[in-house]
A and B are shown apart, each in its own frame.
Chain A
């Protein structure tokens, strides 16, 4: 059963169309990863789910409530941890949590009990009575998580929860999200880190240019793509000519479906093959033509390959493409009311 159902969402900011008919279902109880490069529409999608934004067109249902008709009901069921850490620097962590508890109308006894639980859960004892202005990025994010969880929502929405965090804070947050899932909370997080979605999510969708381009169980997505990946070098740094010759040889082998010369990595060769038994055939063919095998590595399809297959570019390339042209002013405006 789906906890979140989005149908044909369209959203524009001025001339920029952020969502172009996005459709997505998030099953109840899942730890759902929304993967995509910056500017793909992840934050906009999460803001619409959290009732901070209304779509220009489309249908939003969260926990059985229509976001346009009954946003209030959704807000009670949902905790939202924004990408930009919005914290009042003057308040202490405890004061902020108390404020948050009052905004969700928790009784005093319940509030105190929950705050104590969360301080414990997120190991914030040492910091909770200090002003938020003195917190590190990791501590701020923990406090943000605590305020999102205070009212025990059945759905926790996190926008890029570990961007810019140290490894320790990151693994603490990952651990917490896994525990939440075990206890029955549905967790929806966006990320442009492959490893994060790979490590955490049991369900996922890849978003690109305002649309969902693939969705399902991560393992399943990789499996459907089929084939194994092989990276091959005939010497440490080949030149284009040499790699081109090798490519011609490899392309004729039965069971090799794709050969790409990777200029970015010393003209190494990236192959897609049916299965690993082909390794010995490759070695044989190369030796016959007097090429040595300097390095050969075989791996299964990754989520990046899933993205590559669907969009024709790697996630890294997509990131780099938008890196220079991001409009921070516009992004800031989007989050402002």
Chain B
């Protein structure tokens, strides 16, 4: 062993702060991916579950009159967008769980005694991980949707799909990480996930258009962030995409595709600013 102290100060001068931030973020991300590869059951379930939704739910309402659905699309095509968004949403909602377990088992302390360039790297790693998984799942669902004959978004459509998903995943991941630091333990976090998950699905336009719903539910659905992610993706499936046209006939007025994305953007940025002080306090 060489003498201690000798190399610390010189080492830090040599290397840029950004390099160090990238180094620690990548290392933390790598850990999450190693866990995923050695314990792939959540990923496999996360891909199979939406496919079951797609096949079973799609079959359940296969005979719904096409005239009730926007643009006369089949129910399968209609549902595809809903399932893509719901899958990304549930995945991101679970983002806080690994962090919660790290808190509970004391692994977080190991990270917190290290001279991290920024403790945001813990958050960045989770975001990179969840985003990659969500995109992977979405591609699997889109592939299946295509094989089932429910169509494929064009190139511009694909960009809209991924942009929309990114906005949603960032927002929900931030929320889940916030909860992971605010709640006392994983039991409470799982309880919140349970309560939030399905109701948000049913109170959105994932499974049925607003015109199907009683007025009160229509109101809920047109305030639900999931709806604002579903509509642009659905539009991407409905032929050449035009975000300028009205996609959502909400009780409070019509919303265009750009309108949906703007709402999502505000939602994401809003959540980010809401949660940042909490993360800063817990990770300071």
Cβ distance A30 to chain B, nearest Cβ, rounded Å = 14
Determine if B38 and A90 form an interchain contact, defined as CB atoms under 8 angstroms apart.
Answer: yes
A101 to chain B, nearest CB (A): 8
Minimum C-beta distance from A62 to chain B (A): 12
Chain A contacts with B in 296-337, Cβ cutoff 8 A? 333, 335-337
Binds B, one of A76-84, A231-239, A245-253: A76-84
Residues of B contacting A100 with CB < 8 Å? 110, 114
Pair B113/A91 contact, Cβ less than 8 Å: no
In the complex, chain A residues 67-99 whose Cβ is within 8 Å of any chain B Cβ: 72-73, 75-78, 80, 82, 84, 86-88, 90-91, 95, 98-99
Q: Please state if A88 and B23 are interface contacts (CB–CB under 8 Å).
A: no
Do A183 and B11 form a contact, CB below 8 Å, given A75-B115, A103-B27? no
Give every chain B residue within 8 A of A76 (Cβ-Cβ): 8, 12, 115
CB-CB contacts of B135-168 with A at 8 A, as 1s and 0s?
0000000000000000000000000000000000
Is residue B4 contacting chain A, with contact meaning CB distance below 8 A? yes
Residues on B with beta carbons closer than 8 Å to the beta carbon of A336: 103-104, 106
CB of B13 within 8 Å of the partner chain: no
Per-position contact with B for A99-143: 1 when CB-CB < 8 Å, else 0?
110111111000000000100010000000001000000000000
A105 to B12, CA, bound (A): 9
Q: Tell which of A98, A99, A105, A184 has the most Cβ of chain B within 10 Å.
A: A105
Contact of B4 among A72, A105, A131, A153 (CB under 8 A): A153
Q: Are B109 and A335 in contact (CB under 8 A)?
A: yes
B31 CB to nearest A CB, Å:
6
Q: Within the complex, what minimum Cβ distance (angstroms) separates A331 from chain B?
A: 11
Q: Which chain A residues numbered 153 to 169 have a C-beta less than 8 Å away from chain B?
A: 153-154
In the complex, which residues of chain B have a beta carbon less than 8 angstroms from the beta carbon of A73?
Answer: 115
A contact residues, total (Cβ < 8 Å)? 42
Closest to A87 in B: B107
Residue B111 lies at the interface, judged by CB distance under 8 Å to chain A: yes
Q: Is A152's beta carbon under 8 Å from chain B?
A: yes
Does chain A have a CB within 8 A of B28?
yes
Asked whether A51 is an interface residue with its Cβ less than 8 Å from the other chain, the reply is yes
Give the residues in chain A near B282, CB-CB below 8 Å.
337
Chain A stretch 261-297: residues in CB contact (< 8 A) with chain B: none
Q: Does A203 contact B (CB under 8 A)?
A: no
Q: Tell me the residues in window 260-279 of chain B with beta carbons closer than 8 Å to chain A beta carbons.
A: none
Main secondary structure of the interface of A (DSSP, over half): loop
Separation in Å of the B282 CB from the closest CB of chain A?
A: 6
- Residues of chain A within 8 A (CB-CB) of B52 are none
- Min CB distance A145 to B, Å, is 13
Query: In the complex, what residues of B have CB within 8 A of residue A185's CB?
Result: 4
* Residues of chain A lying within 8 A (CB to CB) of residue B7: 152
B208 at the interface (CB under 8 A from A): no
**B30 A99 Cβ-Cβ under 8 A:** yes
B29 to chain A, nearest CB (A): 10
Within 8 Å by CB of B27, from A102, A107, A121, A152, lies A102
The interface bits of chain B over 1-43 (1 if a CB of A lies within 8 angstroms of the residue's CB, else 0) are 1111101100110010000100110111011001100110000
State A16–B31 Cα separation when bound (angstroms): 37
Beyond A154-B4, A183-B1, is A105–B20 a contact (Cβ under 8 Å)?
yes
Contact A335 B28 (CB under 8 A): no
Contact of A337 among B24, B34, B103 (CB under 8 A): B103
Q: Among B24, B28, B109, B112, which residue has the most Cβ atoms of chain A within 10 A?
A: B109
Chain A to chain B contacts (Cβ below 8 Å), 30 pairs: A52-B109, A52-B112, A52-B113, A75-B113, A75-B114, A82-B106, A86-B105, A86-B109, A86-B110, A88-B35, A88-B107, A90-B34, A95-B34, A99-B27, A99-B31, A102-B23, A103-B24, A103-B114, A103-B116, A104-B115, A105-B12, A105-B115, A121-B1, A152-B2, A153-B4, A154-B5, A184-B3, A336-B103, A336-B106, A337-B282
For the complex of A and B, 10 pairs with smallest distance between CB atoms: A102-B27, A86-B106, A103-B114, A75-B115, A154-B4, A86-B107, A80-B113, A76-B115, A152-B4, A105-B20
Interface residues of chain A, those whose CB is within 8 Å of chain B, are 50-52, 72-73, 75-78, 80, 82, 84, 86-88, 90-91, 95, 98-100, 102-107, 117, 121, 131, 147, 151-154, 183-185, 333, 335-337
